[in-house]
Amino acid sequence: MRILVACEYSGRVREAFRKLGHDAWSCDLLPSDDNSPFHIQGDVLEQLDKGWDLMVAHPPCTYLASSGLHWNKRIPGREDKTLEALEFIRVLMEAPIEKIALENPIGRISSAVRKPDQIIQPWQFGEDASKSTCLWLKNLPKLEATNIIKKDRYANQTASGQNNLAPGINRWKLRSTTYQGIADAIATQWG
C-alpha cells in the first residue's frame, strides 16, 4: 500500500510499515529524526491528494489536549489557535484517502468534531507506559492489544499519575513520539 504518515518526524510508524514492504512516507514541517529519504519536509496538506491508500495522522496536540486547554482563557489568542487546530483536524479527517487513522490525546477534538472510535494505552502494546491516546478511524478496525503489561504505576508516571518528564525544551518532542509497540501494531494490523 501507499501510506502517508502525517505530522511524523520520528519515522517510527513510517519505518514499521516499510519493514513490512509498504511504500510508506512521513511528512512533517520538521526534518525527520532519522534523516530518511522517505520523509517529506513540508505542509502535509499539499500531499493529501497524491493517491495514498492509507493515512495515519499525528497532528500537533498543543492547542487540543485537555492538559493545556485551561490556558485558552488565560492567554489572549490561544483559543483562536485551538480553532485553527480543529480546522486542520477536519481537513485531515476529510482527506480523499480511503483509510484514515488520526491520533491525539484526550481533548477538544472529542467535543468539537466527534468522539474517538477507540482509546488505547502504550501498556496494551508491550510498553511500560501510560498515556491515553484517542484514535479516530475511517475504514479501519480498532487496534487489538498485542502485549498487555499491568502495573500500579508505569515507568513514565509520578506517584500522582502525572508524566514524570521534567519541563524542558524537548519535552514536547519526547511526549509526542509514538511508542514502538503502538507503531508496530499499527503497521501489522492496518497494513
Neighbouring residues of 128: CB distance < 8 A, sequence distance ≥ 6: 122, 149, 151, 154, 155, 156
Q: Which three cell numbers stand for residue 134?
A: 484517542
| Residue for grid cell 500537533 | 60
Flag whether pLDDT at 174 surpasses 60: no
Residue 183: the pLDDT is 98
Sequential DSSP letters for 14-33:
HHHHHHTT-EEEEEESSPPT
Q: By percentage, how much of the chain surpasses pLDDT 70?
A: 90
Which pTM value belongs to this model?
Answer: 0.90
CA 57 distance to own-chain centroid: 6
Per-domain residue ranges of the chain: 2-190
Would you place residue 167 in the very low, low, confident or very high pLDDT band (cuts 50, 70, 90)? Answer: low
Residue 163 confidence (pLDDT): 64
* Stronger pLDDT, 184 or 157, i.e. the higher one: 184
Mean pLDDT of the chain: 91
The CATH number for 2-190, chosen from 3.60.15.10, 3.30.70.520, 3.40.50.150, 3.40.50.850, is 3.40.50.150
pLDDT reported for residue 76: 87
Length of the chain: 191
Q: What is the per-residue pLDDT for 92?
A: 98
| pLDDT for res 155 | 81
pLDDT tens for each residue of 34-92: 999 999 999 999 999 999 999 999 998 887 888 777 887 888 888 898 889 999 999 99
pLDDT, residue 78, reads 82
Query: Is residue 165 scored above 90 in pLDDT?
Result: no
What pLDDT score was predicted for residue 73? Answer: 81
CA dist 92 and 102 (Å) reads 8
Question: The C-alpha cell of 146 is what?
Answer: 498485542
pLDDT band at 171 (very low <50, low <70, confident <90, very high): low
